[in-house]
Amino acid sequence: MSVLRPLLSRRGRLVFVATALLLIGALVAAPSVSGAKNAVKQFTASLSAGAGGSLTVTVTNCGGPTLPPECTAPSTIGLGAVQIAVPTGFQPATDVSAISNGTIWNASYVDATKTIDVTAPGGSNKLNPGQSLLVTFTVTTSTCVGTKEFTTKAWGSNSISGSDPFEIKSSQPTVACSGGIVNGPNGQTETVSGDFEGAVIVTFGGVAPDCGGTEFGTLGDQWQVYHLPTPVTITPGPGFVPHGTFKVSTSEFPLSTAPGGPGADSSWYLTCYAVPQDLHTRFVTRGGGLAVAQTVGGVLSWVGILASCTDAPTPCVSEQFLTTGPGAPPWSPGANKVHISTRMDPGDPHKS
């Protein structure tokens, strides 16, 4: 069971956010695949949504001046092939394309295997450590229940299932349907529930809003210390159709007791929340203020620290407590996890 600690006052309540990560492509010459048996071969993959059911899987070869936090070491060879499994309910994928640093890669949907197969156009055009490949395609959703994983694999050779397989260090790209639970790094999970059809894209890591500026005062200082291990972004997915009830996004992550960590009190966490300005009005923040303008990942957004739902309309923090375990979804089956739920308007799947 879990000990519920509802947000019933304006007192320090928590939530999530994190630090922006900058992935910089590094101009590093990758050694050839031959003789690379003992080489480091690591990559990450994430999923983002565009208009009209368009999805993009971003594959990054670990490396560069800023190593992605999921990677344990920079890769020492280039990446030459990628395969993405398209889950049931999203098949077939159409309008498939792939590009890296201005170079077009070979990309197609293979109906026999229900996969998107992508290969570099020649040995000299592989993905060097620190560089990213964008694989874009269009899908439709007929049925979407729970979560759907776009399982992504990669190889050093220029062929699918070839030599020098890479190890994925991030969580697999996943979309969540109503009630879907998505697993992220560092023991984090995100549960999306509510009355809607289709799917939403849940991404762990990447660019996040910043509530640590002077305009946030002492709350900004508190937020800088107490936030999620990894930021979470939620965007509309293919076939998303809202209905009349609120959607709830529940973040859970292990409570840190390390020196300088949050100790044993989950209520210190604050939620730094961002939504695109062109789709939303300014929301009420903690303390009775309004969200401020901030550019997040190149998108002009409204950003602020969320108030309790007892003090403000949506978006807001609806519940926040420390789990004692065991429990049932959306509560964690484990003990000592911070549990924070954000309530959003019926037609609004955005959360960053």
Name the pLDDT band for 329 (thresholds 50, 70, 90). Answer: low
3-state DSSP of 286-350: CCCCECEEEEECCEEEEEEEECECCCCCCCEEEEEEEECCCCCCCCCCCCCEEEEEEEECCCCCC
Q: Tens digit of pLDDT for each residue in 144-173?
A: 888 999 999 999 999 999 999 999 999 999
Same domain for 159 and 51: yes
Same domain for 328 and 183: yes
Of 140, 168, 196, the residue at which a domain comes to its end is 168
Of 128, 144, 168, the residue at which a domain comes to its end is 168
User: What residue numbers bound the domain in which 126 lies?
Assistant: 42-168
Residue 89, both tokens: 């309910």
Of 168, 198, 227, the residue at which a domain comes to its end is 168
- Residue 28 in any domain: the answer is no
Same domain for 184 and 118: no
Q: Tens digit of pLDDT for each residue in 55-96?
A: 999 999 999 998 988 899 999 999 999 999 999 889 999 999
Same domain for 231 and 144: no
Query: Which of 32-36, 174-178, 193-197, 304-308 is the least confident region?
Result: 32-36
Please say whether the beta carbons of 223 and 174 come within 8 A: no
Same domain for 164 and 193: no
For the ranges 17-21, 121-125, 321-325, the one whose mean pLDDT is highest: 121-125
Number of domains into which the chain is organized: 2
Percentage of the chain with pLDDT > 90? 55
Same domain for 206 and 338: yes
Same domain for 187 and 72: no
- Residue 160 in any domain: the answer is yes
Cis before 349 (ω within 30): no
Same domain for 135 and 91: yes
